[in-house]
């Protein structure tokens, strides 16, 4: 049986949490391989709703969760999340959570810099969550990061803080923002060390052993392909590579370990924050999608922008993300709509193109080219087989498959874990 990597095929918020939770029941290890606590997964399990930002979704199902080196980890956010799920009866210990010893840490200066930069941009804000993800990744590639393993070496930690503050305080001075003092940061990190180090290990060794013994591994991505720092709608993107190719580097395994790549897509489109959104709806239809789909960000609480399904964009995500199959979510939100539209391309300055361009002005100028489909009057909510779906709903799904050039292998018809139509087992490869 193959391993599976799950990534978003749009702009995030596609319902990855439910799908990962569903798949985790059949995996033995779940690995988070990129991003930070700017991403959120909502899992509905019986009468409990878990909102996770850092914890791999598998811990809810009693599976081993791993936070890989490709993540940037806020220690305070992690401990807060562990306490929060603990209050719901879910115990997280070093027995069911391991963290890569080389994971970079998000310190208080990172969100401070994130927020100061956004304020300085004025009306040109990128729309970040302000949680320090970007600045933490900058420090990683700038070779300034404080990593989890550094907490075990106080002298190393102290010297690295000197270098880090030399860089960041110069930025804060330039932005007219308060500077950070070393001692409070050092003291807090030393307090956190005994709380975090028991979770630390060379997770690549554990994953190599899992590969050798044939254990199923689920690789869990955050955000989505169109927020990828290379392939997304730059600069309105996240600060990491969200495509499946990064699952190997972000977990410490070879690319042949990844297995099937499952792309999650909503039956319509949403986006949080700034940036281009060609199929966005500013009318009552868009408002209705948001209301019925309860479109509020798990992390930000901000209302998501809503629009028609953009098949041209998802096709692009399929190609650059290495997606082998689609898990289509929230089909039930479209119930009762007389007419549906799918974007099949863009008209840019009079020219028809079949991809979202990389340049900012061209992205902003992209106008959707719609194909109109008949809606359905029946209900898809809770359906667990194709036979339970209205005929027009099946036609809608089939048309999406044709346009994105990838099969729909899973179909989610409600937030409930078991309301899922399985057309192909992702673990079968």
- DSSP class per residue in 338-405: SEEEEEEEEEETTEEESS--SSHHHHHH-EEEEEEEE--SS--TT--SGGGS-HHHHHHHHHHHHHHT
pLDDT score for 300: 61
**Active site positions, annotated:** 13, 41
- Domains of the chain, with CATH numbers? 4-103+200-260 (3.40.440.10), 109-196 (1.10.300.10), 268-428 (3.90.170.10)
250's enclosing H/E stretch is helix 245-251
pLDDT score for 153: 97
Residues 178 and 346: their CA atoms lie apart, in Å, by 45
Would you give per-residue pLDDT tens digits along the chain (429 residues)? 589 999 999 998 898 878 888 898 889 999 999 999 977 777 777 778 888 889 998 888 889 999 999 999 999 999 999 999 999 999 999 999 999 999 999 999 999 998 888 888 877 777 777 889 999 999 999 999 999 999 999 999 999 999 999 999 999 999 999 999 999 999 999 999 999 999 999 999 999 999 999 999 999 998 999 999 999 999 999 999 999 999 999 999 999 999 999 999 999 999 988 899 999 999 999 999 999 988 876 666 668 899 999 999 999 999 999 999 999 999 999 999 999 999 999 999 999 999 999 999 999 999 999 999 999 998 999 889 889 999 999 999 999 999 999 999 999 988 877 888 999 999 987
- Please, are residues 161 and 154 in contact by the beta-carbon 8 Å criterion? no
DSSP 103: P
Copy the structure tokens of residue 198: 């028991």
Residues 292 and 276: their CA atoms lie apart, in Å, by 23
Backbone φ and ψ for 258, nearest 5 degrees, come out as -65, -45
Closest CA to 279 of 227, 347, 178: 347
pLDDT score for 298: 61
pLDDT score for 193: 98
pTM of the predicted model as reported, rounded to 2 decimal places: 0.93
Instruction: List the Cα angle 211/214/220 in 5-degree steps.
Output: 60
First to last CA, the chain: 7
| 3-state class (DSSP) for residue 185 | helix
200's enclosing H/E stretch is strand 200-201
Residues 414 and 422: their CA atoms lie apart, in Å, by 14
Copy the structure tokens of residue 199: 């979770």
Q: What is the DSSP string of 283-317?
A: SHHHHHHHHHTT-B-TTT-PBPEEE-EEHHHHHHH
Residues 323 and 326: their CA atoms lie apart, in Å, by 7
pLDDT score for 299: 61
Provide, rounded to the nearest whole percent, the portion of the chain with pLDDT above 70.
98
pLDDT score for 25: 85
pLDDT score for 301: 64
């Amino acid at each position: 049986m193959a391993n599976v990597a799950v990534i978003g095929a749009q702009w995030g918020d596609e319902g990855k949490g439910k799908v990962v939770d569903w798949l985790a029941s059949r995996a033995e290890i779940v690995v988070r391989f990129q991003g930070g606590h700017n991403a959120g997964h909502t899992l509905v399990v019986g009468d409990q709703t878990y909102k996770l930002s850092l914890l791999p979704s598998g811990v809810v199902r009693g599976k081993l969760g791993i936070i890989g080196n490709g993540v940037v980890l806020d220690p305070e956010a992690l401990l807060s999340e562990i306490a929060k799920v603990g209050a719901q009866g879910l115990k997280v210990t070093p027995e069911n959570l391991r963290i890569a010893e080389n994971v970079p840490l998000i310190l208080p200066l990172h969100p401070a810099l994130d927020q100061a930069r956004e304020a300085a941009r004025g009306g040109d804000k990128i729309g970040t969550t302000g949680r320090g993800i970007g600045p933490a990744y900058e420090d990683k590639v700038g070779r300034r990061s404080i990593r989890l393993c550094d907490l075990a070496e106080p002298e190393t930690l102290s010297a690295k803080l000197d270098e880090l503050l030399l860089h960041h305080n110069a930025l804060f001075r330039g932005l007219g923002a308060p500077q950070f003092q070393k001692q409070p940061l050092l003291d807090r990190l030393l307090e956190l060390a005994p709380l975090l180090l028991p979770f630390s290990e060379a997770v690549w060794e554990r994953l190599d052993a899992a590969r050798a013994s044939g254990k199923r591994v689920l690789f869990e991505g955050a955000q989505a392909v169109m927020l990828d720092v290379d392939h997304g709608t730059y600069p309105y993107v996240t600060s990491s590579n969200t495509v499946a190719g990064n699952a190997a580097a972000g977990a410490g395994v070879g690319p042949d370990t990844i297995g099937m790549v499952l792309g999650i897509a909503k039956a319509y489109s949403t986006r949080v924050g700034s940036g281009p959104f060609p199929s966005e709806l500013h009318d009552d239809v868009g408002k209705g999608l948001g209301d019925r789909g309860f479109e509020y960000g798990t992390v930000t609480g901000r209302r998501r922008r809503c629009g028609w399904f953009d098949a041209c964009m998802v096709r692009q995500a399929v190609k650059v993300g290495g997606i082998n199959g689609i898990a289509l979510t929230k089909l039930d939100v479209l119930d009762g709509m007389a007419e549906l539209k799918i974007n099949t391309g863009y008209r840019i300055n009079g020219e028809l193109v079949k991809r979202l361009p990389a340049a900012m002005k061209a992205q902003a100028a992209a106008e959707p080219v719609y194909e109109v489909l008949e809606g359905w009057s029946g209900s898809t909510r809770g359906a667990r087989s194709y036979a339970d779906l209205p005929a027009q709903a099946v036609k809608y799904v089939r048309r999406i498959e044709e346009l994105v050039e990838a099969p729909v292998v899973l179909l989610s018809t409600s937030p409930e874990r078991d309301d899922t139509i399985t057309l192909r087992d992702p673990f079968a490869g």
